[in-house]
Amino acid sequence: SSELTQDPAVSVALGQTVRITCQGDSLRSYYASWYQQKPGQAPLLVIYGKNNRPSGIPDRFSGSSSGNTASLTITGAQAEDEAVYYCKYRDSSGYHWVFAGGTKLTVL
Amino acid sequence: EVQLVESGGGLVQPGGSLRLSCAASGFTFSSYWMHWVRQAPGKGLVWVSRINSDGSITRYADSVKGRFSISRDNAKNTLYLQMNSLRAEDTAVYYCARARGDYGDYEVAFWGQGTLVTVSS
């Protein structure tokens, strides 16, 4: 199975926009999905497919993809958005799902 | 309300076996792909295995293939993970999770709270 890479940590000022990226060859074939995980909690799906938000996810969360890079953008970051964000994708076989290493987002 | 409640975790010696269960409620269990995902203490998420709605299709991460077995009992609304030949590196919280939509191999959208498996002598 192939691998995806994410920056280990990113910070953003309160109310500003931040982009979290995920890179890997499999992203040329499959959309990534994005999960938010806060300490002591189970993960939460925030973006899937081309740019879809599950019910209850604020519209400040959006997704995009270009070439081998998928991005999660938070427009107007809030304090409650501080969390680890994981990119998930299918490998080239389509059989295996893989989570990237996660990006810890700090809201300053 | 979708509820997933894992059980069966605990302390086991290297080389031992353990069976995890996940009791599902609040939805038509037999219509959804189900998954196991694990997270070692302080580490990231790792997909372990998934199974389709009728149990005829199973998939495994390379790290557990041949040692772990996923199954389901749709009459009991329960998902299982049989773990054999356990290693220290299998130590993790194991989450049961449900696909976003029915019948399709969709993203995981609902998670249980997890059960801790510790492999140590």
> CA B70 to CA A32: how far, in whole Å?
24
Locate B12 and state its tokens: 């086991």
Owner of token pair 């038509």? B28
Q: Who among B59, B106, B112 is closest to A96 (CB)?
A: B59
Q: Are B85 and B74 in contact (CB under 8 A)?
A: no
Q: Are A96 and A83 in contact (CB under 8 A)?
A: no
The rounded mean pLDDT for chain B is 96
pLDDT digits (tens, 9 = 90+) for A56-79: 999 999 999 999 999 999 999 999
Does residue A2 register a pLDDT over 70? Answer: no
pLDDT at A48: 95
Helix, coil or strand: residue B100: coil
Q: Are B49 and B68 in contact (CB under 8 A)?
A: yes
Does residue B91 register a pLDDT over 50? Answer: yes
Does residue A107 register a pLDDT over 90? Answer: yes
Locate B102 and state its tokens: 């029915």
Task: Give the H/E segment covering residue A87.
Answer: strand A83-90
Q: How far is the CA of B56 from the CAs of A38, A85, B53, B59, B71, in angstroms?
A: 34, 32, 8, 10, 9
Q: Who among B45, B50, B106 is closest to A43 (CB)?
A: B45
Q: Residue ranges of the alpha helices (H) in chain B?
A: none
Q: How confident is the model at residue A1 (pLDDT cuts 50, 70, 90)?
A: very low
Locate A9 and state its tokens: 């940590």
Backbone phi, psi, residue B56, to 5°: -85, -15
Locate A84 and state its tokens: 């680890």
Does residue B61 register a pLDDT over 70? Answer: yes
Nearest CA among B35, B28, B9 for reference residue A45: B35
pLDDT digits (tens, 9 = 90+) for A9-25: 999 999 999 999 999 88
Most confident option among A85-99, B13-27, B100-114 = B13-27
Nearest CA among B35, B113, B109, B31 for reference residue B74: B31
Q: Chain A partners of B107 at a C-beta cutoff of 8 Å? A: 33, 45, 48, 88
Amino acid identity at A11: S
Q: Chain B partners of A84 at a C-beta cutoff of 8 Å? A: 44
pLDDT at A94: 81
The rounded mean pLDDT for chain A is 93
A 25-84 → B contacts, CB under 8 A: 33, 35, 37, 42-45, 48, 54, 84
> CA B12 to CA A28: how far, in whole Å?
41
Could B45 and A33 be called an inter-chain contact, meaning their C-beta atoms sit closer than 8 Å? no
Could B44 and A42 be called an inter-chain contact, meaning their C-beta atoms sit closer than 8 Å? no
Q: Who among A44, A54, A101 is closest to B44 (CB)?
A: A101
Owner of token pair 């925030």? A46
pLDDT at A90: 85
Average pLDDT of the segment spanning B44-54: 96
Could B59 and A98 be called an inter-chain contact, meaning their C-beta atoms sit closer than 8 Å? no
